[in-house]
Amino acid sequence: MKGLLCAGGEATRLGELTRVANKHLLPVGRWPMVYYPLQLLQLAGVRQVLVVTGKQHAGQMIDLLGDGKVLSRDGAEPLFALDLTYKVQTQPGGIAQVVGMAADFAAGEPLVVVLGDNVFEFSQQEAIRAWGENADGALIFAKDVPDPENFGVVVYCYPPDVFDVIAGLTPSSRGELEITDVNRHYAQGRRLAVREVAGWWEDAGKHWQHLAEIGRLVEETGVNKPA
């Protein structure tokens, strides 16, 4: 399997915090937000990851993550060790467009897609690993929330033919390629599995106050625990 980290966008919901900074570099607990999804991908068995970010902040992302082998500041603890590749999304075009940007990178391998502002109590690693052993269809992870109109699915696993699916999409009314259309394609072909996220899941890009709340959750319960 290969991994795709979606870390673009202007993050206007976070107001002044993201005027000149990428939201995925903001602190959540003791780590920058982006560390959590990268650790999740490594726990799931992924080693090669494509990071897609916006053109305003690409330099910041590379400065922080480098080649993907990140140690704690004292050098005593390896936080994750990945092989990172970077691409820049010059115009917002939807998650499906970002997935389409990974076609050459994936090179026929199954692709695990995670959003850079999503933080999980449990890593879902066993389910992702099991899917990767026979990735014929797509697997998405979802969570029951009281306001579903504000959220989508939170982790996506796609077989190699996903790029053919994306190539056949037409933009929605908001001018973007919608990931829900990709999922609908697999559902209609009876090639879509859905699993509920174990434990808590948080979208860290909602509000600046929410960043501190998620940080407290991480400290109290742990994060990316085996599941």
CA angle 213, 120, 127 (to 5 degrees): 170
Show the tokens assigned to 144. 């029951």
Q: What is the full DSSP assignment across the chain?
A: -EEEEEE-S--GGGGGGGSSS-GGGSEETTEETTHHHHHHHHHTT--EEEEEEETTTHHHHHHHHTTSEEE-TTSSSEEEE-EEEEEEESS---HHHHHHTTHHHHTTS-EEEEETTEEESB--HHHHHHHHTT-SSEEEEE---S-GGG---SEEEE-TTHHHHHHT----TTSS--HHHHHHHHHHTT-EEEEEPPS-EEETTS-HHHHHHHHHHHHHH-SSB--
The pTM score is 0.92
Q: How confident is the model at residue 15 (pLDDT cuts 50, 70, 90)?
A: low
What mean pLDDT is predicted for residues 136-141?
Answer: 95
What are the φ and ψ backbone dihedral angles of 5, each rounded to 5 degrees? -110, 115
Instruction: Give me the sign of the Cα torsion angle 187, 104, 8, 119.
Output: positive
pLDDT for position 10: 62
Does residue 1 carry a pLDDT above 90? Answer: yes
- Give pLDDT tens digits for 26-71: 889 999 999 999 999 999 999 999 999 988 888 999 999 999 999 9
Which conformational region is residue 110 in: left (phi greater than 0), alpha (psi within -120 to 50 degrees), or beta? beta
Q: How confident is the model at residue 103 (pLDDT cuts 50, 70, 90)?
A: very high
Q: Within 10 A of 167 (CB to CB), how many other CB atoms are there? A: 10
- Give pLDDT tens digits for 141-196: 998 887 776 666 668 999 999 999 999 999 999 889 999 999 999 999 999 999 99
Nearest Cα neighbor of 68 from 87, 94, 42 is 42
